[in-house]
Amino acid sequence: MSSTPGPGLTLARVRGTVGWGLFAAALLLYPIVFADAFYRDIGVTFLLAAISASAWNILGGYAGQVSVGHSMFFGLGAYPPLLLYTLFGWSPLVGVPLGILLSIALAMAIGMPTFRLTGHYFSMATIAVAELIRIFVSTWAFVGGAIGLQGPATARGWWDVTFRSELPYYYLFLAVLALVLAVTAVIERRRFGFYLRAIKASERAARSLGVPVRQTKMKALVLSATFTSVAGSLYALKTGFIDPDSGFGILVSVQMVIVAALGGAGMLFGPLLGALILIPLQTATNTWFGGSGSGLTYILYGGIIVLIARFEPGGLFELWHRLAPRRWRGGDAA
Amino acid sequence: MVVVQVIVGGLLLGAVYALFSSGLTLIWGMMNFINFAHGEFVMLGMYVALLVVLWAGGGPAVFGIAAALALFTLGVGIYAALIRHVLRGPMLAQILSSFGLALLLRYTAFWIFSANFVSLPQTSLAGTLNIGGIFLPIAQLVAGVAAVTLTIGLHLLLTRTTIGSRLLAVAEDRTAAMLMGIRPDRMQALAWGLSAGAAGVAGALLATAYPWSPSVGETFGLVAFVVVALGGFGSVLGSLYAGLIVGLIQAVSAFWLGAIYKDIVVYGLFVALLWLRPQGLMGKA
């Protein structure tokens, strides 16, 4: 796309690195500067949205397999911590790896049949599986039915991961986000990352060039499901409550898609940019319009998705690269 | 006797499923485009019927035609403003466009009409027929018969008329159709109008017999996916059979297992279908 500088130290590359360094510092300092619980809560919500959208991005963005049912993994991550607590009084932490295992198992099960489906068909299959699980969970009393599950009200120790302050959650979430982005950054540079982009560009062409399409897609799905499951667990740990809609609901999937697509699907920092814009916007509509605000939020989401699709499918990063004068662009996210 | 009643009720509802699904399959077959907002078209058809009855009055014929025209116009408008531009764009843009549209329509409806369930005021279709011990609400009977007639009408339009041949020609080969003097853009706009119009009439028919809220769009959208996956992508006649089958399965499973399980059975069937026959039950490999 833009003139990617070769190896060696160019001014643009230095500027890009400094820019991202400043951004990282801002993320680290944010909850200390904005110590109010309200702002810290926005920060935590932002991080969670960025984590889930980055997880979705591995499959939906890089490999171009647009899942609109990723809430199935989010919910599978969110339920076990609170279920094990409710059943046995165990620390919610125990449920996190269980959620990951379940998500991987589901990813492999749906990966086999649905990956023969491409494009729209894959999207449709994911939406149906997520919806099936949501309805099933809301009729199953063992996992709380339509009412849902609750976590520990007061912490018995640090291992309950139940804090009064938002601060520990903020840094926990920030660490997970850093991990997801680091893994994605590594993938971007490895052969696997090139395979993913080849599949996105043309599955048939990729196959004819010797890309192991099925395995690559399956790996991307499993990786994406794992991180999405972790995001779900984090949500459950923080809110201490989960029900079928907040775990498996279609709007959970929608948020991942729109956050990633707004910033730039298939770009490392796309989901971060998307969350940076959408989460404050969502908070603002909720604050201004009160209880009915959430409905307005989704009208807004729908409008934004339509506008992205119509005018800028590459997201805001691509818009930036097209519009910004050359010398501003730097070597940041090309 | 109860079982017969359940079966007949399921088939009548299934006929309406067939009608709106035939709209989805038309777009799907012609443009290889899955409209995630199709269920929302059905939902809008229901509200158009309600508004016409409240403001202007009139019988089912009046609000049925009103819903068809309103949604036909909306479909053409959406094609011209949005779909035309994304059709040859990246896959992500195609999926996002109709998905965003679904959210936009669904939550705008929530905003305007609230989440409460509504139903049409008493129409001329109130009352129940007793045919040999089977009790049939007249509204359901009329809706079912009208839906079957319209679906067959759409099938005949596509297979027996010049307009239909032109539509199919564009579906077959856009460039070749253009060389024959057919304007693909017009035909595709027409297809969107027909598709949304079919959903709109189906919505108006459903409104005579069932209460609804803005969230029904999601349910009907998924039902349409199931019907099309079962009946084959692009086949109106396939939709007719599959719609009747899905309606029947829903009614029978609601009767035997309880109402909450009817959606589980239908979506489970869908997932199983995708698993075993990703190209559709009657589709080609």
pLDDT score recorded for residue B48: 96
On chain B, the residues whose CB falls within 8 A of the CB of A250 are 218
CB contact under 8 A, B267 and A132: yes
CA distance A48 to A255: 11
How many domains is chain A built from? 1
d(CA A183, CA A178): 9
pLDDT at A82: 93
- Which of B111, B263, B271 lies at the smallest CB-CB distance from A299? B111
Does A104 fall in a domain? Answer: yes
Which pLDDT belongs to residue B123?
Answer: 67
Rounded distance, CA A315 to CA B96, Å?
12
pLDDT of residue A8: 59
Q: Is residue A155 part of a domain?
A: yes
Judged by CB atoms closer than 8 Å, whether chains meet at A117 and B263 is answered as no
Residue numbers of chain B with a pLDDT score lower than 50? 284-285
- The CATH number linked to A136 is 1.10.3470
Residue A66 lies in a domain: yes
Within-domain flag for A89:
yes
State residue B18's pLDDT score.
96
Strand partners, A241: A150
Location of structure tokens 């869908």: B270
B25, B28, B107: best to mutate for the A interface, most A CBs within 10 A: B107
Sign of CA dihedral B143, B145, B151, B153: negative
Pairwise CA distance, residues B101 & B37, whole Å? 6
pLDDT value for B120: 87
Contacts with B103 from chain A: Cβ below 8 Å: 254, 298-299, 301-302, 305
Q: Give the chain A residue nearest B272 (alpha carbons).
A: A113
Query: Could you tell me if residue A307 is inside a domain?
Result: yes
* 10-residue averages of pLDDT along chain A (334 residues): 54 77 87 86 94 95 91 96 89 92 94 73 86 91 87 75 82 94 93 92 88 91 96 93 91 90 89 91 78 72 88 84 65 44
Can you give the pLDDT at residue A297? 80
Compute φ and ψ for A241, nearest 5 degrees.
Answer: -160, 140
Nearest Cβ partner for A310 among B86, B226, B275? B86
Burial of B88 (0-12, 13-18, 19+ CB in 10 A): exposed
Give me the residues of A, 97-156, that contact B with CB < 8 A: 113-114, 116-117, 119-121, 123-125, 127-129, 131-132, 135-136, 139
pTM for the whole structure: 0.86
- Distance, in Å, from the CA atom of A268 to the CA atom of A334, rounded to the nearest integer, reads 10
pLDDT reported for residue A282: 83
Phi-psi region of B234 (alpha: psi -120 to 50; beta: other; left: phi over 0): left
ipTM confidence score: 0.86
Domain annotation covers residue A6 = no
Residue type for A241, please?
F
pLDDT at B160: 92
* Residue A8 domain flag: no
A100 falls within a domain: yes
Instruction: Show which of residues 13-32 on chain B sit within 8 Å of chain A, judged by CB atoms.
Output: 32
Which chain B residues are Cβ-neighbours of A292 within 8 angstroms?
111
pLDDT of residue A6: 52
Structural domains in chain B, CATH included, are: 2-113+138-276 (1.10.3470)
Range of the structural domain that residue A106 is part of: 42-324
Residues A258 and A60: their CA atoms lie apart, in Å, by 11
Measured at the alpha carbon of residue B34, what is the angle toward residues A192 and B259, in degrees to the nearest 5? 105
**Alpha-carbon gap, residue A219 to B109, rounded angstroms:** 40
The pLDDT assigned to A327 comes to: 57
| Measured distance CA(B180)–CA(B167) in Å, rounded | 12
Query: What CA–CA distances, in Å, run from B164 to A289, B156, B237?
Result: 49, 8, 14
How far is A265 from chain B, CA to nearest CA, in Å?
9
Distance CA A58, CA B285 (A): 29
How many residues comprise chain A?
A: 334
The answer to whether B274 contacts A310, with C-beta atoms less than 8 Å apart, is: no
In sequence order, the β-bridge partners of residue B136 are B129
